[in-house]
Amino acid sequence: MQGEATESKGVTDSIENRRIFVLGFNASHQLLLRRSGDFSNRWELSIVGGAEEGETAEEAAARIAGPELNPVFIEEFASETGENISLFFATLAEGFAEESDDSGFFSIAEIRLGLAEAPETFAPEVAAVIGRIDPHLVRIPYLEKGPHEYNYSFRPERQRNRSVYQIDQDSARLYQSELCQAIKEIKRVNERRSTTPTALDFGAVSYIVPSHFGFCLGVQNAIERAYECLAENPGRRVYLLSELIHNPFVNEDLTARGLRCLQTDRGEPLIDPETGVGYWDQLKKDDVVIIPAFGATDEDKVRLIEKGISINQYDATCMLVEKVWKAAQRFGRAGYTVIIHGKAEHEETKGTFSNASKAAPSLIVRDRHEAEQLAAVIRAIDPAEKRKLFETFVGKHTPGFDVERDLDRIAVVNQTTLLRNETLRIIEFLEEVLAEKFGQENLDYHLNSNSKGDTLCYATQVNQDALEQTLEMDLDFAIVAGGKNSSNTYQLYRMCKERLDSRAFYIQSEKNILSADRILHDPFSPGGVEEELDGTEERKFLSETDQPVRILLTGGASCPDGILQQIIFRINSFFPPEKIRPVREILDELDQIV
């Protein structure tokens, strides 16, 4: 778990030959070094010392570091000179040390470059520790965090920074909607209607809006932090690790304000068109990087840490995504192999896999079809057959995965944006397979029952539940709005398609509504056996439908309210003005419900 210390053995032997190295890092994960003070004037570690008689390594480190620091044990090793080294990391409080001619903060990348180009400028112990810390770098941002602490919790309503949605006219049009706000106010204050769809009756056309739709708290948190970051860092280069959320209009608005993405949502590096240099390659330690709501893999975090760029300050990882990571590591430490129901190419699933694999063998299963392929591996008796069947999961499991050992005990976590019922069906199916193989009486040992629904995102779930209730009504069409690569939006569309078939549309904005006659249905096509490819096409829309028209309208968790309102205005424009009631009348009716 991030932030947990590895326990040392409290070694007290060979005291005269034991050295304590405490590596002190500032908030940007840069290492504090000092000048040696002798003729060599080399850079050396700033917090070092020896263990005294009767001291454990931890006690020695605490004494050497002083009361201001809380050293975390990392490992023990023998140096080239034969010394026994106990290595610790510590987080330095702001102002603990100032840069001067005699001390300074260096990124790991700077130290490595210096060791390669001018090794004589560094003391031998610097080279010794830099050569050993790679497996531990990702721990640096989390030294002060316990296993149950989150980087950011969701802000309560009173702490929400709504001013970021009103920067200018463009942002207000994108993010604000009087209609959507009125619907959400009904849900907030009227308990009897908290799950009831809301009808916006404009006369010739009515919009049936589920009780829960649009931005979830994780997305709100990410957007607010991104705009705050821009405001707090004038004159500095600000980057996004990848798309902040899966909505092109939000990402385009941030790009217009100066943000750039280091890589695509598939992890492909992006190139600066002005310099021809990749954004990753031009990162400096004074730059700012925002981690998106989906989180980041340890590999990407380590790249930022090495460059001396703060991870924590602008980490917008959704709290519920982080909850999945913590659950995966908890299951792994309990001896279970972690099965991740998710899409291997999705940023969130990559982050979950990265975190789970630190604690246990881990495997990604995309859908029920792949769950059945996994079941075939579990059922197979012959080891060679097991390995052959397992080849279908190449690239989706941790290195060294042992099919004869690592599928005996499993726990399932999920990508939070998928359909809840699909995750539950996969768990129940694997439950049957394990009961068949090991006996029902032994099932609790072989399948962690706490994984059943433990990592499902409630925000995604309530949107799905609200939509399911709305789909029971009499409807002419359903419009689901969201980014083409938004997984949770696609799941909402799948639900609508099952009920309304070709009268269900997936669009990104009002621009997809070409006319009263035609609409551009434009969904993301993620593939997979259970995900029918459903590509872009023009479809018939309003022209052959009797009035009044009833349209279900909802948005994915990354769809701004302003887009939903613009969709309403666009459709209303196709009817004669005298047949469309004024927005003010609709708002007054909603106020009466509250």
Q: What is the pLDDT of residues 547-568, one digit of tens each?
A: 899 999 999 999 999 999 999 9
pLDDT > 50? residue 182: yes
Angle, to 10 degrees, between the axis of helix 298-306 and the axis of helix 108-117?
60
Asked which of 92-106, 145-159, 272-286 is least confident by mean pLDDT, the reply is: 145-159
Query: Residue 452 — very low, low, confident or very high, per pLDDT cuts 50/70/90?
Result: low
Query: Residue 3 — very low, low, confident or very high, per pLDDT cuts 50/70/90?
Result: very low
pLDDT tens by residue, 13-45: 445 578 999 999 999 999 999 999 888 889 999
φ and ψ of 370, to 5 deg: -70, -30
φ and ψ of 146, to 5 deg: -85, 170
pLDDT tens by residue, 526-548: 444 345 556 788 999 998 788 89
Would you say 34 and 103 are in contact if contact means Cβ atoms under 8 Å apart?
Answer: yes
d(CA 403, CA 415): 23
pLDDT of 126: 95
Q: Distances in Å between the alpha carbon of 448 and those of 253, 320, 344, 412?
A: 44, 20, 23, 8
Beta bridge partners of 519: 513, 539
pLDDT of 530: 42
How is the chain split among helix, strand and coil, in percent rounded to 5? 40, 20, 40
**Which structure tokens are listed for 328?**
């995966």
> In 3D, which of 424, 445, 295 has the Cα closest to residue 356?
295
pLDDT of 456: 67
- Model confidence pTM above 0.75: yes
pLDDT > 60? residue 137: yes
Asked which of 23-32, 318-327, 385-394 is least confident by mean pLDDT, the reply is: 318-327
Among candidate residues 224, 243, 348, 510, the one labeled active-site is 348
CA-based radius of gyration for the chain: 28
Q: Which helix (H) or strand (E) holds 578?
A: none
Residue owning tokens 């056996």: 529
Query: Residue 135 — very low, low, confident or very high, per pLDDT cuts 50/70/90?
Result: very high
Q: Is 472 part of the annotated catalytic residue set?
A: no
Give buried/exposed letters for 24-63 (b at 16+ CB in 10 A, else e): bbbebbbbbbbbeeeeeebbbbbbbeebeeebbbbebbbe
d(CA 448, CA 445): 7
CB-side exposure of 547: number of CA atoms within 13 Å? 13
| Average pLDDT of the segment spanning 263-291 | 93
Using a pLDDT cut of 70, give the percent of the chain over it.
93
Q: What is the 3-state secondary structure (H, E, C) of 120-156?
A: HHECHHHHHHHCCCHHHHHHHHHCCCCCCCCCCCCCC
Query: Residue 391 — very low, low, confident or very high, per pLDDT cuts 50/70/90?
Result: very high
Asked which of 285-289, 376-380, 529-533 is least confident by mean pLDDT, the reply is: 529-533
pLDDT of 478: 97
CB-count exposure of residue 554 (10 Å: 0-12, 13-18, 19+): buried
